[in-house]
Amino acid sequence: MKIIKLFLAIVVVGLWGACSEESLDPRSIFDTTTPEQNAFDKWLLANYTTPYNIEFNYRYDDKETDNRYNLAPAEFDKSVALAKLMKHIWIDAYAELAGDVFVKTYCPRVMQLIGSVAYNSQGSMVLGTAEGGLKIVLYNVNIIDVDNPSLEVMNYWFFHTMHHEFGHILQQTKNYSTDFNLISAADYRSTDWVNLSNANAPKYGFVTGYASMEANEDFVEILSIYVTNTPDYWEALLNSGGETGRATILAKFDIVKDYLKGSWQIDIDKLREIVLRRSSEIGTLDLKTLN
C-alpha cells in the first residue's frame, strides 16, 4: 500500500513539474487587432457612421451576405462612387426634407455592397434586400461606370432600390391603411409575378411587374417609382394602363401619399422634387476624391 501511494505521489509531482515547465502561448488564435483605416474608411466614418449611425460595408463579408447566392465582392472604386452618390441622392434628400434626426432614427443600421448580381431560383434578379429594418444589401455594384455614371442604370439598380427598401422600413414601423390591400387583392400573383413585364404591369393596376407580388411590395414600388422618375414618366406609365389600370394605380397612390404625409410628415411631391434635382447633379459630382 505504501509503495502504491509513493508511486502516485511521484506521478503527481512529475505531472505538475511537466506542466509548470510548459509555458502557454499568450497569442490568441483569433485576430483581435483593429484593421488600419484607409482614406475611404475615414470618409465613411465622417459621412455615414458618425452623423447617422450607419455601418457602410464595402468589403465582402460572409456573415453579412446570403450564401444561397454565388456572389462577388464590390470593386473599391465602384464602392467609393456609390457611397458618394447614395449620400447625395438618398440620405441628403431625406435629410433636406425631414431632417437629420429623421434619417438617423429610421435609416438602416448596416449597408452592405455586393459586386455581382444575385439570382433567385426562378431566374429573377435580386435588386436589393432589407432585413428587419436593420440592414440593406445592394447588388451589382460593379456595373457602375465611375467616369460616366448613367442615371438610368443608377436608378434601376440603386436609387429605386434604396427608396423601395427604405419604404419597407417605414411601413414596418408604422402601419398603412389596410384599404390599400383590398384594391388589387384579386390580382396579386405571388411567385407568378416574374411573368408580368413592367411594360404590361400598368394594365393590371401595377407600376412594375414586381409590384404584383403582394401588397407590401406594391406599396413601396409605387413610392420608389414615383420619387425616382419625372412627372412625364409617371403620366406615361398611368396612360399605358388604360382607364382601368390608371384608376387602380391612382387609388393606391393616394393612400401612399396620405400615409407618408399623415404618418411621417413627408410630402411625396416635395420628396420627388428634391430627389430629381439631386439626381440631375450626378454628372457634376467628384466620385473619386474623398473630401
Tens of pLDDT, residue by residue, the chain (291 residues): 545 444 444 444 444 444 444 555 555 444 445 567 899 999 999 999 999 999 999 997 766 565 566 678 899 999 999 999 999 999 999 999 999 999 999 999 999 998 877 665 555 666 556 566 688 889 899 999 999 999 999 998 899 989 998 999 899 899 999 999 999 999 999 888 989 999 999 999 999 999 999 999 999 999 999 999 999 999 999 999 999 999 999 999 999 999 999 999 999 999 999 999 999 999 899 999 887
In order of their start, the domains of the chain are: 39-284 (3.40.390.70)
> How many Cβ atoms are within 10 Å of 27's Cβ, its own excluded?
7
CA-to-CA dists, residue 164 to 110, 120, 224, angstroms: 16, 18, 5
Contact 240, 198 (CB under 8 A): no
In this prediction the pTM is 0.82
